[in-house]
């Protein structure tokens, strides 16, 4: 298998009108990744060294997107939509290069298991000309049936063409195929369009190959592998299945999810063993968490790196560029963006830290903000090791708080603070005896006059 060459041809030309969207259907996302990119990843994992995308609607948008998730993939345009076999033949140039195996896949089936593709390729290696990946269901209504005789697949029959006996078959067509590369073009070119729609159907190559005495077989995968997405309800269903798989995988790898069904991962989330995740946590793109961290309830994390034994939340928001070193703490109702929280530092509550560094062991009091933006540009705040910033302080960047610096509560700090210095940035308090009572009486009298 490892020496066999493989091309995946991924059909991604559908308009997806039932999605009710200007975005090409296959670019709608599952776990933060376009569904077609999930298909590409599955093909790569199954050993497809080269990738082809057959595109149509939104071709330029598709090319731009593919440059990110499949930069080496070739794209071919299906100018007219004349059926699935016609779509595959749009990639004739690539298929003709003589691959051992050709995988034909659909860009709207994001849950395909690479293992199912590997099994199909093994059948090709054993001599099959065509391998169809099917699934079994107790309710086959609406699906094409896989007609087998003597352990061989002889036809794929659409339900409207099935006999009463054939309608009882529960082994159904999943749409995914593996074809021997040396025979692929001859079989595809033999497909005709003598049918009600005048289209060229990929499924016809099963009957063609069988009629030529070639070995055609069906392999079985779960229904999820063939789940196609046609509308947003099915998109949500696929998202749910993907999340369930990922949660299960995370827990088996040593992560504790207290309420798994309330935790949502992205396709690239990395999370270490002995991490505990409390309910209602969202992991956006680009999150890396080391071992032994604790993520408290209702936290939203994206583009962040969290080292071992950190403590985050509850109700924390870590935005892109947040970098928490070992044993750092970001507490409730705190937001961190483009900032490093060094080892053992604490940002406990009701605080915004942006474009900054908080030194090791520093303590940031409640209500502190780094004033990093003047409406045009961003500026940096550097808070030294062991510094203490009192509650309700505003640090106006660019500014440096030295090692061991102490900021009095309620201060607005606009100048650098040297190491071990104490800084006040607030107006002096003035107390006038009896003035409070006088004000209350005046305000009460004014309010009463308005009611008359």
Same domain, 68 and 157: yes
Return d(Cα 448, Cα 452) in angstroms, integer. 7
Taking 80 as the threshold, does the pLDDT of residue 16 lie above it? no
φ/ψ bin of 350: left (φ > 0), alpha (ψ from -120 to 50), beta (otherwise): left
Q: Considering the chain, what is the average pLDDT of its residues?
A: 94
What's the pLDDT at 195?
Answer: 80
Assigned domain for 401 exists: yes
Would you place residue 452 in the very low, low, confident or very high pLDDT band (cuts 50, 70, 90)? confident
- The residue length of the chain stands at 452
Same domain, 336 and 375: yes
**Among residues 226, 249, 269, which one ends one of the domains?**
226
**Among residues 203, 226, 249, which one ends one of the domains?**
226
Assigned domain for 14 exists: yes
Would you place residue 405 in the very low, low, confident or very high pLDDT band (cuts 50, 70, 90)? very high
Assigned domain for 351 exists: yes
Mean pLDDT (whole number) for 233-244:
96
**Among residues 201, 226, 251, which one ends one of the domains?**
226
Same domain, 260 and 172: no
Same domain, 187 and 325: no
Assigned domain for 429 exists: no
What's the pLDDT at 1?
Answer: 55
Q: Name 149's Cβ contacts closer than 8 Å, sequence gap at least 6.
A: none
Same domain, 167 and 48: yes
Give the best-scoring range by mean pLDDT among 25-29, 60-64, 223-227, 303-307: 303-307
Would you place residue 197 in the very low, low, confident or very high pLDDT band (cuts 50, 70, 90)? confident
CB 314 within 8 A of CB 298: yes
% of the chain exceeding 70 in pLDDT: 100
**CA of 115: how far to CAs of 34, 278, 414, in Å?**
21, 32, 60
Return d(Cα 235, Cα 393) in angstroms, integer. 46
Same domain, 167 and 263: no
More confident residue, 78 or 265: 265
What's the pLDDT at 157?
Answer: 87
Assigned domain for 117 exists: yes
What's the pLDDT at 2?
Answer: 62
% of the chain exceeding 90 in pLDDT: 82
Would you place residue 451 in the very low, low, confident or very high pLDDT band (cuts 50, 70, 90)? confident
CATH of the domain at 390: 2.160.10.10
Same domain, 25 and 170: yes
What's the pLDDT at 353?
Answer: 98
CB 73 within 8 A of CB 53: yes
CB 355 within 8 A of CB 339: yes
Taking 70 as the threshold, does the pLDDT of residue 300 lie above it? yes
Active-site annotation holder among 28, 86, 296, 349: 349
Q: What is the pLDDT of residues 32-62, one digit of tens each?
A: 999 999 999 999 999 999 999 999 878 889 9
Backbone dihedral angles phi then psi of residue 42, each to the nearest 5 degrees:
-65, -40
Same domain, 128 and 209: yes
Same domain, 33 and 118: yes
Same domain, 216 and 297: no
Q: What is the pLDDT of residues 250-276, one digit of tens each?
A: 999 999 999 999 999 999 999 999 999
Taking 90 as the threshold, does the pLDDT of residue 182 lie above it? yes
Mean pLDDT (whole number) for 173-186:
94
Q: Name the residue range of residue 15's domain.
A: 6-226
Assigned domain for 75 exists: yes
Taking 60 as the threshold, does the pLDDT of residue 99 lie above it? yes
Same domain, 222 and 236: no
Assigned domain for 53 exists: yes
Q: Is 57 a catalytic residue?
A: no
Assigned domain for 248 exists: yes
What's the pLDDT at 81?
Answer: 85
Same domain, 217 and 274: no
Mean pLDDT (whole number) for 15-29:
88
Count the domains in the chain. Answer: 2
Return d(Cα 42, Cα 206) in angstroms, integer. 24
CATH of the domain at 142: 3.90.550.10
């Amino acid at each position: 298998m490892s020496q066999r060459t493989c091309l995946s041809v991924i059909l991604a030309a559908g308009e997806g009108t039932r999605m009710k969207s200007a975005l090409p259907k296959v670019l709608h996302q599952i776990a933060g990744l376009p569904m077609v990119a999930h298909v590409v990843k599955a093909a790569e994992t199954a050993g497809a060294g080269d990738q082809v995308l057959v595109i149509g609607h939104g071709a330029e948008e598709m090319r731009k997107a593919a440059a990110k998730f499949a930069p080496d993939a070739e794209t071919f345009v299906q100018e007219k939509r004349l059926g699935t076999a016609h779509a595959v033949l749009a990639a004739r140039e690539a298929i003709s290069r003589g691959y051992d195996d050709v995988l034909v896949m659909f860009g709207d089936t994001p849950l395909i298991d690479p293992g199912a593709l590997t099994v199909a390729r093994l059948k090709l290696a054993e001599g099959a000309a065509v391998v169809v990946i099917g699934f079994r269901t107790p309710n086959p209504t609406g699906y094409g049936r896989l007609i087998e005789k003597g352990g061989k697949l002889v036809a794929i029959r659409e339900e409207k063409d099935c006999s009463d006996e054939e309608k009882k078959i529960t082994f159904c067509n999943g749409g995914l195929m593996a074809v021997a590369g040396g025979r692929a073009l001859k079989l595809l070119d033999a497909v005709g369009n003598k049918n009600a729609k005048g289209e060229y159907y990929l499924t016809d190559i099963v009957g063609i190959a069988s009629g030529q005495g070639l070995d055609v077989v069906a392999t079985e995968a779960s229904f999820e592998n063939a789940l196609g997405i046609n509308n947003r309800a099915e998109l949500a269903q696929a998202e749910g299945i993907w999340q369930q798989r990922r949660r299960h995988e995370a827990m088996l790898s040593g992560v504790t999810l207290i309420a798994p069904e309330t935790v949502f991962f992205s396709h690239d989330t990395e999370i270490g063993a002995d991490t505990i995740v409390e309910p209602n946590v969202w992991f956006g793109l680009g999150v890396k968490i080391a071992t032994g961290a604790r993520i408290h309830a209702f936290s939203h994390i994206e583009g962040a790196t969290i080292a071992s034994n950190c403590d985050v939340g509850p109700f924390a928001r870590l935005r892109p560029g947040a970098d928490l070193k070992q044993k750092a703490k970001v507490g409730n109702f705190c937001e961190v963006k483009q900032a490093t929280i060094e080892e053992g530092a604490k940002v406990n509550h009701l605080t915004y830290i942006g474009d900054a560094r908080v030194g090791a062991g520093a303590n940031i009091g409640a209500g502190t903000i780094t004033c990093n933006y003047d409406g045009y540009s961003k500026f940096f705040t550097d808070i030294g090791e062991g510094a203490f910033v009192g509650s309700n302080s505003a640090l106006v960047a660019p500014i440096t708080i030295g090692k061991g610096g102490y900021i009095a509560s309620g201060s607005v700090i606009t100048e650098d603070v040297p190491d071990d210095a104490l800084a006040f940035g607030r107006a002096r308090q003035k107390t006038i005896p009896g003035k409070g009572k006088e004000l209350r009486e005046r305000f009460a009298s004014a309010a009463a006059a308005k009611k008359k």
